[in-house]
Amino acid sequence: MALSYKTRRKLSLLILLVGLPLYIVVAVNVVGLFDRPPIWLELLIYVGLGILWALPFKAVFKGVGQEDPDAPPRNDTE
């Protein structure tokens, strides 16, 4: 079952405002459990984790920045 545009938009906002900060806190705490690696490796870990969090939500974020495809056409001629 495909999500509607409005549902995807609300869900993406929830993910960005609540889920992403929680993911950042968890990622920093997990990396902090180990001895500090060299700076280049630490940067690589954070870049990898930054890409990894978005992969499951690709379908939710797809097309959210565009106009609602189900909305009636607007009449902008005045």
pTM of the model: 0.71
How does pLDDT run across 54-72, given as a tens digit for each residue?
888 888 888 777 777 777 7
**How far apart are the C-alpha atoms of 54 and 56, rounded to whole Å?**
6
CB 67, CB 9: distance < 8 Å? no
d(CA 57, CA 1): 15
Residue 21 banded pLDDT, cuts 50, 70, 90: very high
Cα 71 to chain centroid, rounded: 24
Quick: pLDDT tens for 45-58: 889 988 888 888 88
